[in-house]
Amino acid sequence: MRQGYRLLLMLIFTLCLGCQVRLEPGALYWAEPARGHNESQYYREKARDLVHQLAYTIGQSGVQEVVVLDAVNDAGQVSALGEYFSGRVVEAITQAGLFRVVKRGEVERVLETLRLAPALSYNREELGSLGGAFEAEALLTGRITDLGTGLDVRLTLTDVENGDLIAAATEHLKRSRFALEMYRHTCPPERNTAG
């Protein structure tokens, strides 16, 4: 009987030596966080979702050309994430054929001339100045808010003639290390100040 236990213990010990215990996350864990190309694809899809929400809300508004401003953070400043995400939104708008979009360089030049900075909202006078400078019907602005558990991107499409809200959309983003670094990194001061 004793020899049976010894043999069983040796068999178990031998099997344990041949097995390898892995104390690391599995392949699915590493595939889930978006990195590099995957992160870019993630933001592209989120921007596409926002544009689809806007398109659904807009209906037959008659808007043909829009000015897209970089999304601002809670402090009212353009962050690297706001600039990057606005670029993804422009890409999604043009791919969907929803509107014509004023070129980024032209937008920056006019904002500098008018001594305005990107913001979530503008008063009627500022909207009129922007609309007249671009001959566009609407202004697309955005804000990215850090909620602690994630980031919220809110876009608003405003009629430049009367200041009426045409459409709004919100999308939740994962709070990844990459997103937080871009959110916290603000663009140069000349992009964030009015004059």
pLDDT: which is higher, 62 or 32: 62
Q: What range does the domain containing 183 cover? A: 36-192
Which pLDDT tens digit goes with each residue over 21-43? Answer: 554 444 444 444 444 457 778 87
Which pLDDT tens digit goes with each residue over 92-121? Answer: 888 888 888 888 888 888 888 888 888 888
CATH number at residue 171: 3.40.50.10610
Is residue 69 one of the residues assigned to a domain? yes
Which pLDDT tens digit goes with each residue over 139-192? Answer: 888 998 888 888 888 998 888 888 888 888 888 888 878 778 888 877 765 545
Is residue 182 one of the residues assigned to a domain? yes
Is residue 187 one of the residues assigned to a domain? yes
Is residue 165 one of the residues assigned to a domain? yes
- Predicted TM-score of the model (pTM): 0.72
Identify which of 23, 105, 13, 87 has the alpha carbon closest to the alpha carbon of residue 50. Answer: 87
Identify which of 95, 162, 153 has the alpha carbon closest to the alpha carbon of residue 131. Answer: 162
Is residue 40 one of the residues assigned to a domain? yes
How far is it, in rounded angstroms, from Cα 49 to Cα 15? 52
Number of domains in the chain: 1
Is residue 22 one of the residues assigned to a domain? no
Is residue 4 one of the residues assigned to a domain? no
Residues in the chain: 195
One-letter amino acid at 118 equals P
Give, to the nearest 10 degrees, the angle between helix 80-96 and helix 177-184.
110
The set of residues, in sequence order, having a beta carbon less than 8 Å from that of 193 and lying 6+ positions away, is: 117
Is residue 31 one of the residues assigned to a domain? no
> What is the CB neighbour count within 10 angstroms for residue 39?
16
pLDDT: which is higher, 2 or 86: 86
How far is it, in rounded angstroms, from Cα 159 to Cα 153? 20
